[in-house]
Chains A and B, each alone.
Chain A
């Protein structure tokens, strides 16, 4: 085989591989996309239509309209996830600084407490958390989701940020101190800028975690559309309108497209975050 033939063959096999993996990874999404542009009622037509005869955007208008307001769930998710990320980053940055850069007696205890917490299955904390939220009068509020999600993201975030903090040379810190900078100035001018990528990617991962969280959101929102997040809203939509999958599909598309686009744009951040944490 000549070199040219080998290159061509490699290219052909690669294209086939990409197509096969693409089929597995994208087909369910493509099927929802196709269903979402079928005129209502035709999604149950037999034989199955792989492309609608009269594609339409009506379903999108419907689910964005007064009866469904799927945009409300997207907004709720944004509020919950943004709130949780803000909390997580604050707590995680503080604790990561201590873990990575200070000597203290309970350092390893703290690390263990964090990592063990990261493995706790949601089912074992859900009922007491529900009871706690009920006694605080926080059921059907954003807080009932923001507060626990802030904590759920801590183990990964702290670990990730700590590993970036650890990479700042101590000489750099000492040099700043010799130049007369106080501790706070050193932290803000020297250490935080170096750790910024780590903090950013911890934030992105925390956002995604809270965005996709279902068990807690489902439990504390108790059917209140005013606070339902995307996963809860889409599931209840699909349960309630099992015979109107054109609507359900349009609702699903609106709910997941923004996050898919965000993940594609931030791909590098997400992936380095995953491997630097080495955990998720």
Chain B
């Protein structure tokens, strides 16, 4: 046996447990979900005994208003939430570079707090914040004279959507901030300082120096946050439960209800597969972007 083949054999032995795990808990379940989506599975997952209906589930789903509403809401949510994440994240990240050295550690510690709290618990915290009787947000809006009565945040379609975005962005902006801090740290000090000497104003410096230089990081952050937003589940499930009605249901939360509340495994799987396809589209860009990090050696 040549040294080369021996090395390959040992390497495969080392990666085998990990790859086997990925197959069992990631790849095999995807195939299984795809399979479910071709069968008429109600109250059972025994697809061998269920009727094969081909693309029947897809045909039904594609013709339902509910699907298109949920699909568009998921896309709209992604656009709005990711924009908010990146905008706030950028402001936070810039702020950590702006404040004097002494305050920097404090500011970073503050920004990391929302990141440490599990998403579904954030959702329940925001449910209390948005309480229509004694929630501080409604109360403050009233004290500021902006509304006569505290709004019924979670009973109103548009307000419930805004609530989901707010709760999501609370954590998302922190993640984006730390992501972008990494990008901003790569900008050489001299570049910024020479621009200050040249008398460029803050806004001008941001547009013509900082933004172009942080663009690669921003782009990866955009892809990464988009994937996360497209599969959003915890925040919706914990804050509105998809309500009022199903108006804040995303593809994931709607599929989850269909799986585990209504036991419509076939129907639910079509929603899951659509979610997977959407994320896959973003994923193609993502992989091609991070591929260069793959060459650890040579």
A and B part of one assembly = yes
Residues of A within 8 A of B (CB): 10-11, 14-15, 17-18, 21-22, 24-29, 31-32, 35, 43-48, 50, 90-92, 94-95, 97-108, 110-117, 119-132, 147-148, 150-152, 154, 158-159, 162-163, 165-166, 208, 211-215, 219, 230-232, 234-235, 238, 245, 248-249, 252, 255-256, 259-260, 262-264, 267, 270-271, 274-275, 278-280
Which of A95, A110, A123, A165 sits near B272, CB closer than 8 Å? A123
Which of A108, A162, A208, A267 sits near B108, CB closer than 8 Å? A267
Tell whether, in the assembled complex, residue B133 and residue A44 are in contact, meaning their CB atoms are under 8 Å apart. yes
Q: Given the interface contacts A18-B103, A18-B110, A94-B17, does A127 sit within 8 Å of B125 by beta carbon?
A: no
Tell whether, in the assembled complex, residue B179 and residue A46 are in contact, meaning their CB atoms are under 8 Å apart. no
Q: Given the interface contacts A91-B18, A151-B21, A214-B119, does A120 sit within 8 Å of B26 by beta carbon?
A: yes
Whether a CB of chain A sits under 8 angstroms from the CB of B207 is: no
Which of B12, B95, B117, B123 sits near A17, CB closer than 8 Å? B95
Cα A15 to Cα B102 in complex, Å, equals 11
| A residues in contact with B181, CB < 8 Å | 271, 275
| B residues in contact with A35, CB < 8 Å | 128
Cα A150 to Cα B173 in complex, Å, equals 27
Which of B29, B106, B170, B178 sits near A128, CB closer than 8 Å? B29
Which of A94, A120, A132, A274 sits near B30, CB closer than 8 Å? A120
| A residues in contact with B134, CB < 8 Å | 43-46, 48
| B residues in contact with A231, CB < 8 Å | 118-121, 234
Cα A113 to Cα B19 in complex, Å, equals 8
Using CB atoms, name the residue of chain A closest to B274: A124
Residues of B within 8 A of A (CB): 4, 7-8, 10-12, 14-15, 17-19, 21-22, 24-30, 32-33, 36, 45, 88, 92, 95, 98-100, 103, 106-129, 131, 133-136, 139, 170, 173-175, 178-179, 181-182, 220, 224, 227, 230-231, 233-234, 237-238, 251-252, 255-256, 259-260, 265, 268-269, 271-273, 275-276, 279-280, 283, 286-287, 290, 293-294, 296-297
Tell whether, in the assembled complex, residue A18 and residue B11 are in contact, meaning their CB atoms are under 8 Å apart. no
Using CB atoms, name the residue of chain B closest to A259: B116
B interface SS class: helix
Using CB atoms, name the residue of chain A closest to B279: A121
Most chain B beta carbons < 10 A, residue from A26, A102, A150 = A102
Tell whether, in the assembled complex, residue B290 and residue A154 are in contact, meaning their CB atoms are under 8 Å apart. no
